[in-house]
Structure 1
Amino acid sequence: MSAELIVDARNATGESPVWQAEENALYWVDIPAGRLHRWQLDGQTDCWQADEMLACIARSEAGHWLGAQESGLFKLRPQADGRLAAEKLIGVEHARPSMRFNDGRCDRQGRFWASSMPTAMGAEAVGALYRYDGQNPNDLSVLAPQLEDLVVPNGLAFSPDGRTLYLSDSHPSRQLIWAFDYDIDSGTPHNRRLFVDMNDHPGRPDGAAVDSHGCYWICAIDAGLVLRFTPQGKLDRALPVPVKKPTMCAFGGPRLDTLFVTSIRPQGIDLADQPLAGGVFALNPGVQGLLEAKARA
């Protein structure tokens, strides 16, 4: 089962792929470049430039994009001149200087979750997971962390019924994936437990998605694989991609049966063995995914 290159994007850090069924299009970001990208089924590509690094995105019910940037959450609107117009919704006070947002997505009710990490990916556990409800935004001036003591939080996903939250920590000192019971009324995770110890598998856990059967797909960065775990945490599938650092996966296509995968193009190293690093790929996983919920912002 081979991976098809759909865009030789050469992203420094491609992340946060989101399928838009209304447009038959895949959107994703290049974090350090601060760019929002779009690929359409007819092969057309577009790109818009933000003023800050752009880590993760979700489409809102109102039609704009919600994006987590360095200084907070923003309403984002692509412009005809290639700019990404930004309206700040709420700020963030990171635990340390030189931090940014990383992974993120909406829960099934439309709350937006985003995690933070040190820009240089240090080993200090100052990362956190934040929730933005999209209601009464003026009640708080900054986002409040919901989970802390994380190094490089990643792999955020929700079960089909929304009652399980998955979260990983990609840092080499951890390499763990947890599951939480999730209160869909309050948007509160609890009963944290180990779901998968990625120290027992190839690669480190990066971005993830859940399919219609409730299985958890996670990019195994440094191993060039996308792994599928059952709801019981058992590995039952491993799909290769032609790059060492896949970052995040998302289901899309007209039947939601394509798994799109973004990747990293490392700087300053010989890429002769992986010339497609930083590209976006399409896999045929043999299962269908779920539409992403729209943000309430």
Structure 2
Amino acid sequence: MHQISDLICKTGESPVWDAVAGAWYWVDIPQRTVWRMDGASGALRSWTTSEMVACIAPRAGGGLVAGMESGLYTLVLGESSSAAETLLCHAGGLGPGLRFNDGRCDRQGRFWAGTMFMDMAAANPAGVLYSHDGAALSAPFVDGLLTQNGLAFAPDSRTMYLSDSHPQRRLVWAFDFDAESGTPSNRRVFADLNQQVGRPDGAAVDADGCYWTCANDAGCLLRFTPSGKLDRRIDLPMLKPSMCAFGGPDMETLLVTSIVSGKPEDARWGGAVITLRPGVKGIADVPFRG
């Protein structure tokens, strides 16, 4: 495992590899910051945003799409230290105390993102899941979410994954997915982390179709086969890993972000960003087509 510089993010999230740019991107939510690391040189750069930015994806033609506090935005990361923001759409499910949380593109270039009530202690099931096809925001596909997370899509686009990482849920669901229409159906429990360890946070799918989830509060990555069987655990130095993503020129590097826990035993690694080589290959993300 390799730590990226001595960088510490309060809430590191949403890592993604941009194959066209040859760079990694991720965010620090409360710091309202987007980070970029050049894949060849390792050079770091950051941009601030006007609102908390929770999830990002590369955008066809350059820049990013982002889920923020008041809606979805496109971001242009130029020479300025601040990102140039353009509102893509507001979302009806947003209001006081809510923001977008986890998001990513499906393999057809739609951007999927869910919302959450930020005060997790309130256990408010106000979160919903949307998609944006480049022209318009969908109606909610899933509602009643406490802490939406874990979006991922199978290599053949026939399965969509979604999790709720709230301590009262700790579930990962699988859906049948109609790639042509972008419609999920037949929701069922895929993995119950109440029977494992940690809470299912951000996730990725490898080329074998296995689902990798960051087990937040348990300091590890868990890999589940397409049938939902836990077949691998990788222990990490940080207590609260938040999301993982495959990338690099060979798609065999896994970048993992994390959250500062405030616990003495996590003081060295909490909030760190690391890379590792798990011995499997990932799948390149498709840019947002909007």
Query: Match of 2:9, SS?
Result: coil
Instruction: Report if the CA contact (8 A) 1:8-1:276 is conserved.
Output: no
Alignment of 1:49-68 (within 5 A): 49-68=48-67
- What residue number does 1:170 align with? 165
Normalised TM-score (structure 1): 0.94
Identify the match of residue 221 of structure 2 among 222, 226, 250: 226
Normalised TM-score (structure 2): 0.96
- What residue number does 1:288 align with? 281
Larger mean Cα displacement after TM superposition, 121-130 or 241-250: 121-130
Question: Could you tell me how far apart the structure 2 residues matched to 1:120 and 1:143 are?
Answer: 25
Give the share of equivalent positions with the same residue, in percent.
Answer: 51
Larger mean Cα displacement after TM superposition, 211-220 or 24-33: 24-33
Alignment of 1:3-152 (within 5 A): 3-41=1-39, 42-94=41-93, 96-121=95-120, 122-135=122-135, 137=136, 144-152=139-147
* 1:180 to 1:83, Cα distance in 2 relative to 1, 3 A: same
* 1:273 to 1:15, Cα distance in 2 relative to 1, 3 A: closer
What code does the residue aligned with 2:101 have? N
Q: Note the C-alpha offset of 1:95.
A: 5.5
Query: Match of 2:194, SS?
Result: helix
- What residue number does 2:188 align with? 193
Q: Note the C-alpha offset of 1:235.
A: 0.7
Instruction: Report if the CA contact (8 A) 2:114-2:129 is conserved.
Output: yes
What code does the residue aligned with 1:286 have? G
What code does the residue aligned with 2:189 have? L
Query: Match of 1:199, SS?
Result: helix
- What residue number does 1:274 align with? 267
Question: Could you tell me how far apart the structure 2 residues matched to 1:248 and 1:167 are?
Answer: 13
Ranges in structure 1 where 5+ consecutive residues have no aligned partner: none
Q: Note the C-alpha offset of 1:96.
A: 4.8
- What residue number does 1:264 align with? 259
What code does the residue aligned with 2:279 have? G
Question: Could you tell me how far apart the structure 1 residues matched to 2:126 and 2:98 are?
Answer: 9
Q: Note the C-alpha offset of 1:143.
A: 5.6
How many pairs were matched up?
A: 288
Instruction: Report if the CA contact (8 A) 1:271-1:277 is conserved.
Output: no
Identify the match of residue 217 of structure 1 among 209, 212, 215: 212
Ranges in structure 2 where 5+ consecutive residues have no aligned partner: none
